[in-house]
Chain A
Amino acid sequence: MSRIGVFTCHCGENIGATVDCVKVAEMCKDIPGVVHSVEYKYMCSDPGQRQMQEAIKEHKLDGVVVAACSPRMHEPTFRRAAGDAGINPYMCEMANLREHCSWVHEKGEATTQKAADLIRVLVEKVKHNEPLHPIKVPVTRTAMVIGGGVGGIQVALDIANGGHKVVLVEKSPSIGGHMSQLSETFPTLDCSQCILTPRMVEAAQHPNITLMTYSEVEKVDGFIGNFKVTVRKKARKLDEHLCTGCGLCIQKCPNKKISDEFNEGLGTRTAIYVPFPQAVPNKPVIDTLNCTYYKTGKCKVCEKMCPTNAIRFDQEDELVTLDIGAIVLATGFKLMKTDAFPEYGYGKHKDIIDGMQFERLASASGPTSGVMKRPSDGRSPETVVFIACSGSRDRAKGVPYCSKICCMYTAKHAMLYKHKVHSGKAYVFYMDIRAAGKDYDEFVRRAIEEDEVKYIRGRVSKIYEEDGKLIVMGADTLMGGEPVVIKADMVVLATAVQSNDRSEELAQTLHVSYDSYGFFAEAHPKLRPVETNTAGIFLAGACQAPRDIPETVAQASGAAAKVVGLFSNEELTREPIVAVVNRQAAPVYSTCVGCFICQGACPYQAIEQEEIMARSGEVIMTLARINPGLCQGCGTCVATCRTKAIDLQGFSNEQLYAELMTL
């Protein structure tokens, strides 16, 4: 007969307000097998845990049910406490009274009854629990960082400085990300390139960091500590070891009219190019879609010019498989384009630009060398209108969230413009000014008070072109909704921050969750913000939600600390929630008939064929065997098995049916 203890938690008011915990504890005393049942205000607190441990010893309990919050929250806590008190940790289960009962029901008799029922189910499960022992797995002390923006660079540097190897994968030809495109940064107005490029060079030269630029993650197998990642190294069409980065090929390339991505379409580049002069690595790439040789079969000017004969027109993509212990996602964001706004002309007016295009116009390394010229005719704009919340907080655009960075960069843009065009007028249309951050509000005040930027609270309903001017029709809601019409030379839309292209695809490759906007989901919004639900995969920066640079860098260092912490273990312990094929003594051996349907169903290739041999050495049967190092415990094989020869430890048929029959 089992000796089970039930510990009911009030969780302060969370459970206690709707469930009569004292009564629940009383009711649980009548469940067969339960020898001890108490309630306490906070079971997870130190005295709560101690109370449980003392009861285990005093009443010689062999199983424990903690009726509290979600097992996602505190299962490890209570299992550890139970283990410390001398019973096997896996003899402890949690009944989720908070999420499954008290939070979703109103106070009443039925709610209390349901709470008792939930406990009854788990008591039945514990009766069928078996002691389990954690599985030890080795850990590969190499991290992979996906995304080479400021977040990815910070993660890579921090892990590398912690003494571990890092592979930094970046899809574009250079690391640097969005930050390398910015002119100045808020709230200090320091030059973005000046603070970022030393970091980029440091990352490239660090002995522990391997850069893989122009590369993308193709496939991820394995699990925490033991990932196998396949990376596609896209063909640069040149031998990186021979190329010295002299740039002669770029100078001589005849195809010079290609829209430049780095300058957001405001400038041009050649078919063989480096994205920007400070690129790391400073090795060009041939854009095969636009290269004359790939289109017509003739040209090869770059090959003739190259002093080291580094050009390789026949180079193919290369697939590299790496052993990786932990992965950090730092893939960043993208901005909504101006063509998403019918009311502002679908992006057909050249002088309606987005924030990133403005950055390039203002940047000393940009297409105008930092001189304010409007894109259509190159004239200096005398009046500029900035529209905050373009797309953000707008359900009609599918972006109900706040993009967070726009209030600040719009203030910065208006300031930069006023610093460059002293006689110019700058107007900002806004919904709210959200300037929460160190020195942020002061920065916005400075734009308004010192640089005399006119802030108008209201939306812009329409922009149209008339005599070379953009007529901006808005409203001033602080003046009772008075219509405002401004004849502008240029309009800058602070467009919404969105999840990056193909982020959902990447999330599916890595098996991490993502929200409905394509941002990667953290394991817990408050307490585990840099971890994903998949062990060994971490998050940094705007791939999780809109973030500015200081937040991204802080989160990056946080993620790096998690990785270094993980790598400080000699070996990792894994939950023993794995499937097992039953085995019996000869001559039966197993109820497995060797059909191997399970082998096809297993997503982890964890099922092997074991040959059972007679003493003569003759193979008498072939049975399935599960490698506990590879098994992740999904249980798909269990449901697939036709002879019920496989069972999942911790979620066995016996346990689940016992629970079901008590419902």
Chain B
Amino acid sequence: MRVLRVPCTGRIDYMMVLKALHKGADGVIVSGCHPNDCHYTSGNYHARRRWMVFKKMMEVMGVDMRRITFSWVSAAEGARWAQLVNEVTDQVRALGPYTEFRQVIGAGIE
């Protein structure tokens, strides 16, 4: 797993998720503070709203949503974070390389 640091889930442009898959990532985790506990007051609400739309759109397009995990883990939940990463990496490993992504997205992202 490789980590990309952003200040807040609110900063995440979901294009980044697609770019990561396009670059060959087999799975992506989007994670930040729990709703109501945002360090920046409300950034994670905006992220959640965009995520709902993004998720729907990806499903329609036929992207395998087992590849993208959105989960809230606070900075005080080290054990939970470790568990989440282990679960997701195990799942993604079981799914194998995500070679279909390029076919699904087609040439649109190139």
Contact = CB atoms under 8 A, between A and B. Distances in A.
Contacts of B41: 511, 603-604, 634
B16 to A, nearest CB: 6
B25 A635 contact: no
Please name the 8 residue pairs, one residue from A and one from B, whose CB atoms are nearest each other, closest first.
Answer: A635-B11, A636-B10, A634-B40, A603-B41, A634-B8, A636-B43, A634-B43, A603-B42
Nearest to A523: B75
Contacts of A632: 40
Interface string B1-18: 011111110111100100
A657 B16 contact: yes
A131 B92 CA distance: 39
Q: Mostly helix, strand, loop or mixed at chain B's interface? A: loop
Nearest to B35: A508
B65 interface: no
Contacts of A533: 39, 75
B50 interface: yes
Nearest to A105: B1
Which residue of B5, B20, B40, B46 has the most chain A CB atoms within 10 A of its CB atom? B5
Contacts of A436: none
Interface in A498-545: 507-508, 511, 513-516, 521, 533-534
A639 B13 contact: yes
20 contacts: A71-B5, A96-B3, A117-B2, A118-B2, A513-B39, A513-B75, A513-B76, A533-B75, A603-B40, A603-B43, A604-B41, A634-B10, A635-B11, A635-B43, A636-B46, A639-B13, A639-B46, A657-B16, A660-B4, A660-B23
B11 A521 contact: no
A590 interface: no
Interface string B32-69: 01001111111100110010000000000000000000
B77 interface: yes
A648 interface: yes
A121 interface: yes
Nearest to A603: B41
Contact of A636 (B20, B42, B77): B42
Contacts of A507: 37
Which residue of B2, B16, B20, B25 has the most chain A CB atoms within 10 A of its CB atom? B2
B93 interface: no
Contact of A661 (B12, B19, B37): B19
A513 to B, nearest CB: 6
A334 to B, nearest CB: 20
B82 to A, nearest CB: 8
A290 B81 CA distance: 48
B74 interface: yes
Contacts of B82: 104
B16 A511 contact: no
Contacts of B77: 516
Which residue of A104, A635, A640, A653 has the most chain B CB atoms within 10 A of its CB atom? A635
A123 to B, nearest CB: 14
A663 interface: yes
A651 interface: yes
Given A515-B76, A603-B40, A661-B19, A635 B7 contact: yes
Nearest to A93: B5
B15 to A, nearest CB: 9
Given A117-B2, A634-B7, 20 more contacts: A71-B5, A100-B3, A508-B37, A511-B38, A511-B39, A513-B76, A515-B76, A603-B40, A603-B41, A632-B40, A633-B7, A636-B40, A636-B43, A636-B47, A638-B13, A639-B10, A639-B12, A651-B7, A656-B16, A663-B25
Contact of A521 (B12, B43, B76): B76
Nearest to B33: A513
B38 to A, nearest CB: 7
Interface residues of A, number: 39
Interface of B: 2-8, 10-13, 16, 19-20, 23, 25, 33, 36-43, 46-47, 50, 74-77, 82, 85
A648 B10 CA distance: 12
B69 to A, nearest CB: 17
Contacts of A514: 37, 76
A450 B78 CA distance: 46
Contacts of A121: 2, 4
B6 A635 contact: yes
Contacts of A448: none
Interface string A551-563: 0000000000000
Contacts of A657: 16, 19
Interface in A104-123: 104, 114, 117-118, 121
A240 interface: no
Nearest to B36: A508
A389 interface: no
Contacts of A603: 38, 40-43
B25 A639 contact: no
A638 B15 CA distance: 12
Nearest to A636: B10
Contacts of A508: 36-37
Contacts of B11: 634-636, 638-639, 648, 651
A491 to B, nearest CB: 36
Which residue of A104, A636, A648 has the most chain B CB atoms within 10 A of its CB atom? A636
A532 to B, nearest CB: 10
Contacts of B8: 634-636
A592 interface: no
Contacts of B12: 639
Contacts of A633: 7
Interface in A576-593: 577
A647 B39 CA distance: 20
B41 to A, nearest CB: 3
A656 B4 contact: yes
Contacts of A260: none
Contacts of B76: 513-516, 521
Nearest to B38: A511
